[in-house]
Amino acid sequence: MEVSLYSIAIFFCFFIFSVQSSTDSDNPSEIIIRFQQYLQINTAQPNPKYYEAADFIISQAKSLNLGYETLEYVKGKPLVLLKWTGKNQNLPSILLNSHTDVVPVEHHKWKHSPFDANVDQLGNIYARGSQDMKCVGLQYIEAIRRLKSSGFEPIRTVYLSFVPDEEIGGLAGAQSFAESEEFKKLNVGVVVDEGLASPNENYRMFYAERSPWWLVIKATGLPGHGAKLYDNSAMENLLKSIEIVRRFRASQFDLVKAGLKAEGEVISVNMAFLKAGTPTPTGFVMNLQPSEAEAGFDIRIPPTADTTSLERRIYEEWAPSSRNMTFEFQEKTPVYDKFGKPVFTATDSSNPWWALLEGAVKKANGKLGKPEIFAASTDAHYFRDQGLPAIGFSPMANTPILLHEHNEFLNQAEYLKGIEIYESIIKEYTSYIEPTSDAVSREEL
């Protein structure tokens, strides 16, 4: 009996030693530590530490012998591009995109410091960017680490782009990149970008997104005494417009509440600011009706919407000149690409990349919900504008949607599972040869 116990003890010690002697980089604890290190780099707008983030990404590339370069379309805003070279560089490549910047935080409203990446007793990693979207960028890298460790060699080349400024529009990042000569040389065939967490067991896949139209409506009128009732005062006209807009918003929201449409399929309108009154050092003048008043609205439009009808509604109902009103767009993202087609990615047989991603997720024991239109906007639309298929996907199931909220977190088990999902996706994508293509057959590779 003593010999048996001794043998078991020796075996157990050997097993532990073997596990510890295996590549530390594949260790779950080491994987989580690298994620925490990335999260601890404060890349919050408006002063993100972009170079620190770039150095970290490049260090990961070096550890995996990946190619890397830094592009800088705007000084101080580096874009890091990694490359895993495939065996057949004539085939269109795969681009896995993520952004390095995150939105600002109100530190005092977090239960854990937003840039400490604390892990609680449930395994939840609290940090700004844990969902949006530093998780995805590091999962790409960790998935490649696993594939390289297994000896897998891609047929297609894979690029990983870590872009700046997504949270403030992407002009210095994805937009400049997608329109550049450098991008054209990559011969990209499909782009994978961010999605959203899912509160249930089904991962979410996005084939399109709503375009932002940021509208400012301004009303003018004669100033007057605060006690007098005027027709067509600036405030009265603006309030009429706000009420008309509110009714439109309610009609769209009712479709969502009734389950007739998903949130991404309706036009959303939310008032972002209201500006009026005559200020003084101690407040506002109370007995003076202002001569100007304005309001700002964040409008989000799905690619299926009738934009001509919406614009007519704006100048006839929301801001009619007959009520001394004008309007302008601070942002007006087109819902059509440069070819004049609605900006969305096909989910049918015409787009093999969609089916490949679905199959890869299922092979990794993941479940999928139905295809969706992203309610907000991401960098993916810049690549769709170029006529490329772009799929929004972030493997976070059974997770509350906390992007841009206080106490953003991602459970470490869900993060690790997401790496397996991307490993499956990258393997499927980089091994794919079009059935009817004249490209070199598998036997010749």
Q: Give the max Cα distance, the chain.
A: 102
Q: Are strands 224-225 and 367-368 parallel, antiparallel or unpaired?
A: unpaired
> Edge-to-edge, what's the strand order for the sheet holding 325-332?
268-276, 292-301, 211-220, 325-332
406 is in an annotated binding site: no
Residues forming beta bridges with residue 84, ordered by sequence position: 158
Q: Extract the tokens encoding 322.
A: 């007959």
Closest CA to 299 of 245, 236, 219: 245
Closest CA to 92 of 421, 371, 368, 386: 386
Closest CA to 139 of 76, 107, 97: 97
Closest CA to 305 of 344, 350, 347, 345: 344
108 is in an annotated binding site: no
Considering only CA atoms, give the Rg of the chain: 26
404 is in an annotated binding site: yes
User: How far apart are the C-alpha atoms of 338 and 40, rounded to whole Å?
Assistant: 39
- Amino acid in the structure at residue 270: N
328 is in an annotated binding site: no
Which residues are part of the catalytic machinery?
A: 101, 166
User: Residue 150: exposed, middle, or buried by beta-carbon count in 10 A (0-12, 13-18, 19+)?
Assistant: exposed
User: How far apart are the C-alpha atoms of 270 and 263, rounded to whole Å?
Assistant: 13
Residue that is written with structure tokens 């010690």 in the block: 13
Q: How many CB atoms lie within 10 A of CB 182?
A: 13
225 is in an annotated binding site: no
Residues forming beta bridges with residue 174, ordered by sequence position: none
User: How far apart are the C-alpha atoms of 65 and 313, rounded to whole Å?
Assistant: 56
Which residues belong to the annotated binding site? 99, 132, 167, 194, 404
Which residues belong to the annotated binding site for Zn(2+)? 99, 132, 167, 194, 404
